[in-house]
Amino acid sequence: MNDPLIDYTLHLADNTLILAQRNSEWCAHGPVLEQDIAITNISLDILGQARNFYQYAAILLGDDATEDTLAFLRDNREFKNCLLVEQENGDWGKTILRQFIFSNYQYLLYEKLQHSKDEQLAAVAAKALKEVTYHLQWSSEWVIRLGDGTDESHQRMMNAIEELWPYVDELFINADYENELLADNIAVDVPSLKNKWIEKITSIFDEATLQIPQNVFAKTGGKQGVHTEKLGYILAEMQFMQRAYPNSVW
């Protein structure tokens, strides 16, 4: 059964869960204590968003679905997150850049989604928008600081841009389930967000003395469940307990 609303909700949930999982790898390993707390806090915020989306998807699915069956008992090909969020953390610069790319996108997305005809999705987006506003501000400041910091930090940011830019375009291509929900004003038309997204990137990059790369070949597929090899390892680790001890209450 392919219900576009369920697929869309899962897409929103998977994006946030996988990024939360990645960011939480920094916990106890950050470059300075305050920033360890900050990235962990962002992880916690977007994990909270993921839970809200999964809980809604579970209601839509009915039967025995719960937030946990959806997070822990689906396999690789069923996950609908963008490829960007499953990329490895790399150094602090790459993590910061990934967060900036994503928070900038998410801010524009939720700004529209809070007016969705679907009341549940609208409510989750409205609540999350405050958090995302902070994530965007925090990551913007770090992009500037690292881009315009030392020669080394500048070089590291250029490397991060080169590594992550192939995953940018996917954010702005509608999947089938998004297209199907456009007419009813449920999903956000993501291509329409791109201009504003670029504007923000340009202004922050200008201040950071960084450039947007041109003619980058886009890698896509995550939203349809065709991922990079990295996702399998994320799931293997994340789902270990539920797979090893099925049918248990935790």
The only residue of 3, 25, 111, 163 in contact with another protein, by rule CB under 8 A: 25
Question: Do the Cβ atoms of 195 and 185 come closer than 8 Å?
Answer: no
Q: Is 67 in the site for another protein (CB under 8 A)?
A: yes
Q: Is 64 in the site for another protein (CB under 8 A)?
A: no
The minimum distance between CB 148 and another protein, in angstroms, equals 6
The minimum distance between CB 32 and another protein, in angstroms, equals 6
The only residue of 21, 49, 106, 140 in contact with another protein, by rule CB under 8 A: 21
The only residue of 3, 41, 122, 134 in contact with another protein, by rule CB under 8 A: 41
The only residue of 2, 150, 214, 215 in contact with another protein, by rule CB under 8 A: 150
The only residue of 3, 65, 68, 129 in contact with another protein, by rule CB under 8 A: 68
Q: Is 15 in the site for another protein (CB under 8 A)?
A: no
Q: Is 92 in the site for another protein (CB under 8 A)?
A: yes
DSSP characters for the chain?
---HHHHHHHHHHHHHHHHHHHHHTTTTT-SSHHHHHHHHHHHHHHHHHHHHHHHHHHHHH-TT--HHHHHHS--GGG----HHHHS---SHHHHHHHHHHHHHHHHHHHHHHTT-SSHHHHHHHHHHHHHHHHHHHHHHHHHHHHHTS-HHHHHHHHHHHHHHGGGTGGGGS--HHHHHHHTTT-S--GGGGHHHHHHHHHHHHHHHT----SSPPP---GGGT---THHHHHHHHHTHHHHHSTT---
Q: Is 216 in the site for another protein (CB under 8 A)?
A: no
The only residue of 47, 136, 186, 188 in contact with another protein, by rule CB under 8 A: 47
Q: How many residues bind another protein (CB under 8 A)?
A: 50
The minimum distance between CB 137 and another protein, in angstroms, equals 16
The only residue of 149, 158, 200, 228 in contact with another protein, by rule CB under 8 A: 149
Give the relative orientation of helices 151-164 and 119-147 as an angle to the nearest 10 degrees.
Answer: 140
Rg of the Cα atoms in the chain: 18
The only residue of 1, 2, 34, 217 in contact with another protein, by rule CB under 8 A: 34
Give, for 221, the enclosing helix (H) or strand (E): none
The minimum distance between CB 89 and another protein, in angstroms, equals 11
**Which residues contribute to the site for another protein (CB under 8 A)?**
17, 21, 24-25, 27-37, 40-41, 43-44, 47-48, 50-51, 54, 67-68, 71-72, 91-93, 144-146, 148-150, 152-153, 156, 237-238, 240-242, 245, 247-250
